[in-house]
Amino acid sequence: LAMTIGYPNGAGDDSGNTNQFYSQYEPKEVLGHGLSSVVRKCVEKSTKKEFAVKVIDLNNLDANSEDARADAMKELEVLRKVQGHPNIILLHGYFETAAYVFFVFEICPNGELFEHLNKVVRLSEKRTRAVMQQLLDALQFLHRRSIVHRDIKAENILLDEAMNIKLTDFGFATEVEDDESLTDLCGTPSYLSPEILIVNMYERYERTSVHGYGRAVDMWASGVLMYTMLSGSPPFWHRKQMTMLRLIMEGRFSFDSPEWEEISDAAKDLIRRLLRVDSKQRPTAAEALQHQFFCPAGASTPVV
């Protein structure tokens, strides 16, 4: 990584550290906002290259700033472990002060897949295949390193100048010991898998054999995304959230709407497999990449 700036013991005067960032980068327009962060375009003065900087205001959070710093440290640790994949966001630098944390990322000029979907509504099967292939390849890379992303959704997929995807926002990502070791509730409601809900809705796992969750939650969320890209609407949605959560836990979705008529059986089959309620029955990322959806008739190996 280009640079890591430590922060002084005892908050003290950290203007020097803040200046380290501003002496190297010139901030430009705001690209987006998070709950406690802002993303700006910035230009590296020495190279004139553009980057996206995520600035986390440690004092602007409901949580205490030490917890916020610990979360940023955890995100940094995960990001460092997952560098080097073409479909995972590249971290160019990192700066830390008493009040702020700066993550400097490569810039993705075509923005979020979410915004792109809002404009075009649906993606062709060919385009969906390209996005899914890149996403599953990135997930295979993460899962082999025992890292679960836990927030796969269209908002967390960026598009570079060539419309290749870059998986971003590793704020919920964590290392997993085994595939039943996680229990905390995190993610985005319409993308949550049944096992996350089951673990969190039943009193200490009474009446259920599900004791935790792992990598398979990312596979479920990628199934939700694939369905959404092809049809223009999510598989599980209801204005009453409890009803939506029940639909998810029962795995109740359909291909009844007219837009599914011209979509291939292979695409539907992969979605059905990814959206299996029993997480043990879902394919891994590596298995999903071998699915016939990625192997058009006559080809013996997946088309890359």
- Among 298, 294, 300, residue whose Cα is nearest residue 137: 294
For residue 44, give the 3-state DSSP assignment: strand
DSSP class of residue 112 equals B
Beta bridge partners of 93: 104
- How is residue 45 annotated by DSSP? T
54 is in an annotated binding site: yes
Phi, psi dihedral angles at 54 (to 5 degrees): -100, 115
Angle among Cα 249, 255, 259 to the nearest 5 degrees reads 135
Beta strands in 73-201 (DSSP E): 91-96, 100-106, 147-148, 157-159, 165-167, 174-175
Catalytic choice (151, 169, 179, 265) = 151
CA 128, chain centre distance (Å): 17
Active site residue 218: no
Asked if 17 and 9 count as a contact pair (C-beta separation under 8 A), the reply is no
The set of residues, in sequence order, having a beta carbon less than 8 Å from that of 249 and lying 6+ positions away, is 194, 197, 198, 277
Structure-token match 């964590």, residue found: 174
Tokens 């099967």, located at residue: 125
The tokens describing 115, both together, are: 């915004």
Q: Which long-range contacts (CB under 8 A, 24 or more apart) does 2-7 make?
A: 2/92, 2/93, 2/104, 3/93, 3/94, 3/95, 4/93, 4/94, 4/95, 4/96, 5/94, 5/95, 5/96, 5/97, 6/96, 7/96, 7/97, 7/98
**Catalytic site positions:** 151
**Binding residue positions for ATP:** 54
**Binding residue positions:** 54
